Structures are given as C-alpha cells and as structure tokens.
Structure 1
Amino acid sequence: MTTDARHDSWDELYDDADRARRVLEPPKRVDAPVRTAFERDRARLVHAASTRRLAAKTQVMGPQADDFVRNRLTHSLEVAQVSRDLARALGCHPDVAETAALAHDLGHPPFGHNGEAVLEQLSGPAGGFEGNAQTLRILTRLEAKTVDADGTSVGLNLTRATLDACTKYPWVRADAAPPSGVHGDGSPRVVVKFGVYDDDVPVFGWMREGVPAATPRRQSVEAQVMDLADDVAYSVHDVEDGVVAGRIDLSTLVDQRAEIWATVRDWYAPGLDDALLDDVLDDLVRVGSWPRASYDGSRAALAALKNLTSDLVGRFCGAVQAATFAAYDGVPLVRHRSDLVVPERTWAEITVLKGVAAHLVMRADDRVALMGRQRELLAELVTVLLDRGPDGLERQFADDWRSAADDAGRTRAVIDQVASLTDASAVAWHGRLCRPGAAPPSGA
C-alpha cells in the first residue's frame, strides 16, 4: 500500500466501535462546522483546563528557570507535532495520535516525576498514584465536559480509539512490573507503571473492548506512535535545552564519553557496552548539522541548533517508518492490527542522547537539592489537606470527599486535588496552609 493510499483510507480504517463514546451525544446544530469524531476529541484536549495547567508544570527544569526551557505544555505540543507527522506517514489517524500526545502528560502532578513519587508513597491505601493512570482519570472523570444520565461526570467523553491511544500502560497496578532505572527528568523510578486505578476499571474495560485476548497488555499502534514521539522529543529537546543553558557542549562531547556511558548504563541501558556507544555517538556526530564549535548564543548558533534538532527527529522517525513498513507491508497500521517497529540502532541513538542530558543536566548538584525540597513541600501539603478535609479543597474535590464511601476514597480526593495543582500553585497552597507567614522553600 502506498503512503497516499494510506492517507486516503484514514477514516475508512476506523469503524463505529472505534468512534463510540461512552455517553451518546446528540448531533451538533446544523450551522456548526462539520468535524469528524476524532477532530472533536482533539479540540476537547486543546480547550481542557488540565492542558492549560501544563504550562506551569515542571518538564526537566522548572518552568520559572528560564524563558527558553520547555515546560510540560511546550513539551506536549512538540510531542504532538512529532506524533501527528509520524502517524500521517504511517497511515494511522493523525488526529488520534496527536490527541494522545497532547494528553500524555495531563496526569503529571507538580514537580513532575519527583512529585509523582511523593503522591505514590502517600496514596498506597487508596490504590497508589501513577501519572498515566491519573491521565485516564482526568480524561474520563475529573475534566468536566459531559455527564451521564445520573449527572455523574464522564470527563471529556472521548472516543474509544482516542482514549485507548492515550493509554501507555494498559494494565492495573497489581499487574505492574517492579520499577527500575530513572525517568527522563532524572528522578529514580520508584513508582510502578500502570494505566488505570482500580476504581476506574469499568471505563478501562469499555475502552479495551475488541483488544485481542492473546495480547491483553498491547498498546494500540496510535499509543505506540505517541510513546515513541515522547521518547524522541525527550532525547532531542533535553539536549537542546542543555546546550542553550550552557551545560552541554556538543562540539566537545566525544571527550566526555566515558563518564556519559556510565550514566547511560546506570540510568537506561545496562547492557550497552562502550564500543557500541562509541560507534553510535560517532554516527551522530557525522550528522551534517552537528555543531563543530561551542554554542555562543548568536542567532546563527541558535539556527544551527534548531537544524540539528529537526535533522535528528527526522532521522529517528524516518528509520522507524521504514522498518515498520518493511514489517507490515500492506497491513493497516491501525489500533491493534499491527505494531510500531523501532530498529535497535535507532533506540541506541535515542538512548545516547538521553544519557548526554542525564549526565550533564539531571545530575547537577543544584537540581538534586531542589528536588528534595519539592518532595518535602508536597508531603506536607497532602498531610495538611487530609487533616482539614473538604474545607481545604476546591468545590469539585470537596464534593468527591463528601461522597466517598471510605477513607481510601477521601484520600483519593485529596490526591486528585494536589495532582491538579501547578508548581506555583502547590507552593502557594503550601505557604497558605502549612507555613502561613513564612517564605516558601527557596527555588521550589
């Protein structure tokens, strides 16, 4: 099947079950613009309050650190662009893949994975905390757009195909593997990876209807596209941010390779040896746009860095596209009919770039100290809100507290509230509730 033919058959490859919503919605008025079901999904993400909050949530460095560095929203927009372009090239629906990318970080609490670890520790009796499971909860419950016949929120009421594409870890906490390694922001993985809380299993079951019984944990192709786009964006853009921040010098990177390879094995890939990593880096340095001089802040240097970013994204996505087409010639790359194929060499190249950022940016002493203060702040805030109950919560979370059947439900209401906060609002809430009159922790 040619690429053009794939493009022409986007909508034909998705059936009524893929476009189904949990709550049936009446047709839009006749004078409204005509949009497909998947276009409506994308619009709902763009207009969601949870999406806007990402602008004030930590990506790698805090959103107040610098005007240039990424925050969760700009990162999500970049992942969405990569995801859409790759989906279009492969032939799966670009709106589905883009919406999944826009949604993929919605569940992140204040201070990113660092905050996630704190909420996991404090929410064990309520079923734990995980950013991807929180994303599903936001999409299907917390982000108010549609209610059912009983007046209960069903969140954004996205289509089955889009909701499934947003699910990176399609299993419950009890089925999760033990955590290992580190996150892209440098914090150790202490939270098991799962995609649904126990009390959200009913909507998860509806969403996963039609998934082959032989592969119950399989991501949809669109979710795999989103997942790869996230990895590509992390690897390339974190290096770009590090260069502009003065922490990474690409022109002298080969001189630091021994220390960097130790971090690569420690954090991401313990099985990669020096010879392979040396070879991979040598290949990357041979990319025509790789800088031969130190970054000096000039427009010319910034333009060259942007060209490198574009070339690397194209390199990784092009390799994946070619490998996937070779493996699935003539097979629709839609939902659960096929899988994305990431060549081992491409995975190694992405891992090398992640290791560069990890060693030269994430392991900096000032950042490690800040992360400790952030964890203390969130832990104190959760403790105070659990003690105060609904009087300390915003209306929708106070309602959840009052309607909860047990302590686990009340704890979940507090965790949902804290997870919804931005970095800045978490600091403000902490100052108001925990230390009135005191200055906030420095840098938090």
Structure 2
Amino acid sequence: MDGTQGTQGAHGTEPALGARGTRSGAGASPYGPADTQRFDTEEDKRPGRTAFQRDRARVLHSAALRRLAGKTQVVTPGTRSPMWDASPRTRLTHSLECAQVGRELGAVLGCDPDLVETACLAHDMGHPPFGHNGEQALDDFASDCGGFEGNAQSLRLLTRLEPKRFVHDPRTGDLVSVGLNLTRAALDAATKYPWPRGAHPTDPHAVKFGVYADDLPVFSWAREGAPGDRTCFEAQVMDWSDDVAYSVHDFEDGLHAGHIDPNCLYAEPEREEIWAVAIGRYVPADTDPQELAAALDRLIDQEWWPHGYDGSAVAQARLKDATSQLIGRFCLEAETATRAVYGPGRLGRYGAELVVPREVRHECAVLKAVADRYVMQRAEQEALRADQRVVIAELAAALTARAPEGLEPHFRALFDQATDDHARKRVLIDQIAALTDASARSLHAALTARRG
C-alpha cells in the first residue's frame, strides 16, 4: 500500500506522497492517509489535533510509561552512591530525555515532531524490571514459547496490553484490546527491529527482534507498504536519539557519581580496556582500536570537555555544559550529513535514511564503553545483577506454580482466557515484564514466602 491508499485516518489532512519512498517537493509532507490510519478506526473527540498529537498524548498518559520510573536504567532506582545523593536516571527519565533529543532532531529534518517524540517515549516501554539483566532472565524463562525481547514487548504493550480501546472479535464476538490504537506511522516509528525472532536480515542468530509470533497480524498491518526490513526514517531518528541520550547521560552520571576518573581516559592500559568493551558490543568486531582512540582524543581535546572533574559546583556546571555540547555535536553532525545527501525539504517515512558519520558513531560508542567499563562492571553491580536474576527466575517459577494467584486482575483475565500452556506462560511473562524493580521484589517475597 502506498501513501495515497487506504481508509482516511482520524486526522488525515496532511499532503500525501505520490508513492511511499519518494519525495514530491521541498515542502511536501512525507505523511499520507495510510500513515495516519488506526487499526480500529475512531473519531477524534477534540477536532483540531493531528493524529500524531493524539498518539503522543496516549503514550504520555499511559500506565506503562509511568511504570518506567521504577525500572533500572543503569543504577537501580533507590540506590545511592556515597559521592552522590541525587536520584539516578531511570527508564522514564531516559525516555523523556530521548524524546527531547528526538523531537528536535526530527523537527529540523522535516519529520512530524509529535510522531518522533511518540516513538522515543514508547521505545523502552516493554523493558522489564532490572533492565537488560531482567530482559535476559525473562528470555531464559520464555525460551520454549518464543523468547522475550524488550522491543517486541513494547509493540505488544502498544497494540494489546495497555488498555485504551477494545473491539469485538468478529470470530468470537468477544471484546479484545487493541492497546493504545496508535496510527500506523507511530507503530512503525517505534519499531527498531522490524522482524520476528530468528528473521534478522543478515544474522539469524541475532538476539534483537521486534515482534512475537502472536502479534504478527498487527505488526504486518503497521508495516504495510514498508520496503522489506528497512526501518522508517522516524525510527532511525529515534534510534540515534536513544544512543545519544544514554551514551551522554550515562557518562555524565558516572562522572557525577565518582565512578569515572577523568584521568583514566589518558592512561594506555585503561584505554585498552575501554576499546575491549566497545569492540563487538558497541562497534563492529573488525573496528580498529586506533579509530576509537582517535574518537576519544577528539572529545578530550574540546575546550568544553570536563577536564579534572571534582564534583564542585563549578565542575558540575562545566559537566552540564559538556553534556549539552555532546548532544548538540552528535545531532548536528547527523543533520549535516543527512542534508548533504538529501538536500533541503521534509524527510520522513521511507524517503530518506539518517546519515551518521562513522567518526561520530565511534565517539558515541566510546562514551558508552566508558560508562559500561566503570559503572556497569563494578563488582557490587555484578553481585546485584546476580541477585536480580535469582529474583526473576524464582518469581517466574512461583507464578507458574500458583497462577492465577499473584496476577493483577488484567492479567488474571488474560490467563483465564488463554487456550493453551504457551499462551498462559506468555501471560505470566507479560505480568513480570510489567512490574517495577520494587514490585518484582515485593511479589517475589510474597509468593516465595508462602511456598508449600
């Protein structure tokens, strides 16, 4: 389906493209009626808003977004560093910061800013308690029913689990949820990995995927007209904004907390450890360490770099300025490189690819690796992660033995409606993924204390 076909969406007044993936003039909108369509057609209660403004409002007011306030980003919420009495960033604060970066970058490139902000707000909604550590533990539990992946879980929340709109199933007459009932373009923009498990375009063993088997119908609907496995332009802006936000802010938090010593970035043995973390994890395995060394040196050589950070008020101000400078640098380089290829005009959907220079990706990757090496790899963090894996595994076992006991009413109803063991297990996974770090520990304590 191209951008001129399909039923008119709730607010489909934007000019359409002649065909999806082409541009029809410098001022033409990349969005047509098919992009603003919703899975279940509905009328706007407040005329005058665009479809993408409605999408943004629905995500912003969702319970799933609020729950991110209690989910780990890097440091577990509620824990403190001896040198730092401020609250650490959570999945929610990260999502809000990602949304600010993405909205501005998308706007200067001609994307609808509400559409990009919606994707950024929604991109981490499916992450379970305890961050990527909890994600791995849940994937182990879900190995016999399709696995677990935070990005696929985000799509499931947006299209099924977050209760906003229900429709009658034409086959059974039962009321079924269509989640937030976002537009096609919003669901597509929130999809980083547009393929199911095992269908990565180049690596069948890749762990990242964007949709579970039972969610393929709505995923296929959202991807109508998409060229193969390409991500849309807005999803690429969201993805880069995510990288920018967490690389810069994790580095900032690590310095502020006293975990990162600025002097270590000059010492050769320490630098080699940073390259070892980066290569294969944040940059391709064949990356030359000298490229990463050059990237770090370019950053250190900047006048605004937080040299000799000591935690004083003046140093904190310099660090905050460095944070702004880094974000501006990474976004401006992507904007400039993209414009050099596509020229002026509005970019969006499948009419362009975001261009991020290799050197800039290396600078971003180095910041990630520094935070990884000095914050995430601390001994106390590994001990905490081991305990978190035990909590998830024991909670999953307890729910398996006791369900529907322990399930929230919403998930209890889904459990009762499930038609087989795999479907019931998926409900247990959905329940655990919805928990915050604190509520996962609380439910684990309640269920394991009552064994036998």
Q: TM-score, normalised by structure 1?
A: 0.89
Aligned AA for 1:48? S
Aligned match of 2:143 in 101, 124, 132? 124
Note the alpha carbon deviations across 1:98-119, whole angstroms, 9 max, x for none: 1000000000000011111111
Match of residue 301 from structure 2: 286
Matching residue of 2:434: 420
For the residues of structure 2 that align with 1:355 and 1:154, how far apart are their CA atoms? 39
- Contact 1:41–1:99 (CA<8 Å) still a contact in 2? yes
**Alpha-carbon deviation of 1:328?**
1.3
Question: Shift of residue 266 of structure 1?
Answer: 5.4
- For residue 32 of structure 2, what is the aligned residue in structure 1? 15
Q: Does residue 168 of structure 1 match 2:213?
A: no
Deviation track 1:105-164 (CA, whole Å, cap 9, x = no partner) reads: 000000011111111111122211110000000000000111113421100000000110
Deviation per residue, 1:145-193 (Å, 9 max, x gap) = 111134211000000001100001000113133567xxxxxxxxxxx11
TM-score, normalization: structure 2? 0.88
Which has the larger helix fraction?
1
Taking the TM superposition and a 5 Å limit, the aligned residue runs for 1:405-444 are 405-435=419-449
Aligned: 1:238 with 2:250: yes
Q: Tell me the CA shift for residue 332 of structure 1.
A: 4.3
How far apart are 1:278 and its partner, in Å?
2.2
Give the aligned partner of residue 41 of structure 2.
24
Measured after TM superposition, the shift of residue 259 of structure 1 is 2.5
Q: Is the 8 A contact 2:110 2:345 kept in 1?
A: no
Unaligned segments of structure 1, at least 5 residues: 1-5, 181-191, 438-444
Matching residue's letter, 2:305: W
What per-residue deviation string (whole Å, max 9, x for no partner) do you get for residues 399-440 of structure 1? 111111110000001000000000000000011001359xxx
Match of 2:221 in 1: 206
Give the match's secondary structure for 1:16.
Answer: coil
C-alpha distance in 2 between matches for 1:219 and 1:378: 32
Q: Give the structure 1 partner of residue 119 of structure 2.
A: 100
Distance 1:87 1:164 in 2: 15
What SS does structure 2 have at the residue aligned with 1:392?
Answer: coil
Secondary structure, counterpart of 2:405 in structure 1: helix
Q: 1:368 aligns with which of 374, 382, 402?
A: 382
* Shift of residue 288, structure 1, vs aligned partner: 1.8
Match runs of 1:30-69 below 5 Å: 32=46, 34-66=48-80, 67-69=86-88
Point out 4+ residue stretches in structure 1 off by more than 4 angstroms. Answer: none
Match of 1:82 in 2: 101
Mapped partners of 1:259, 1:26: distance in 2: 56
The 2-side partners of 1:261 and 1:74 are apart by: 28
Cα deviations by residue, 1:252-273 (Å, 9 ceiling, x for unpaired): 5212323322222253333233
1:110 paired to 2:139: no
1:167 partner letter: T
Asked if 1:156 is matched to 2:156, the reply is no
Q: Structure 1: which amino acid aligns with 2:397?
A: T
CA distance in 2, matches of 1:101, 1:265: 26
| C-alpha separation in 1, matches of 2:304 and 2:263 | 11
SS of match in other structure, 2:351: coil
Alignment of 1:132-143 (within 5 A): 132-143=151-162
Whole-Å separation in 1 of the counterparts to 2:235 and 2:104: 14
**Preserved contact between residue 332 and residue 338 of structure 1 (Cα < 8 Å):** no
| 1:312 partnered with 2:331 | no
Residue number in structure 2 paired with 1:327:
341
Contact 1:251–1:291, Cα closer than 8 Å, also in 2: no
The answer as to whether partners of 2:292 and 2:366 remain within 8 angstroms in 1 is yes
| Other structure's SS at 1:19 match | coil
Distance 1:178 1:114, change over 3 A: farther
Counterpart AA for 2:235: A
Query: C-alpha distance in 1, partners of 2:92/2:291?
Result: 35
1:299 Cα deviation from its structure 2 partner? 2.1
Superimposed CA distance per residue, residues 336-375 of structure 1 (whole angstroms, 9 cap, x where no aligned partner): 1111011101111111111111111111111011101100
Task: Tell me by how many angstroms 1:386 deviates.
Answer: 1.1
Instruction: Please state how far the C-alpha of 1:44 moved relative to its aligned partner.
Output: 0.5
Q: 1:186 corresponds to which residue?
A: none
Alignment equivalent of 2:290, drawn from 255, 267, 275: 275
Is the 8 Å Cα contact of residues 179 and 193 (structure 1) preserved in structure 2?
no
For residues 332 and 38 of structure 1, the distance between their equivalents in structure 2, rounded to whole angstroms, comes to 16
Q: Secondary structure at the match of 1:148?
A: strand
Question: Could you tell me which residue of structure 1 aligns to residue 238 of structure 2?
Answer: 226
- Partners of 2:290 and 2:420 in 1: how far apart? 56
Structure 1 residues 391 and 435, CA, compared in 2 at 3 Å: closer, same or farther? closer
Q: Quote the RMSD (CA, aligned, Å).
A: 1.9
Whether contact under 8 Å (1:114, 1:371) holds in the other structure is yes
Q: 1:211, 1:178 → 2: CA distance?
A: 21
Structure 1 residue 331, shift from structure 2 partner: 6.4
Q: Which amino acid aligns with 2:244?
A: V
| Residue type at the aligned position of 1:405 | T
Q: In structure 1, how many angstroms separate the alpha carbons of the residues matched to 2:425 and 2:27?
A: 47
Q: Is the 2:128–2:150 Cα contact (8 Å) retained in structure 1?
A: yes
Matched AA of 1:106: M
SS class of match (2:176): coil
Structure 2 Cα separation of the partners of residues 396 and 94 of structure 1: 33
Counterpart CA distance in 2 for 1:292 and 1:227 is: 29
- Matched to 2:147, the amino acid is G
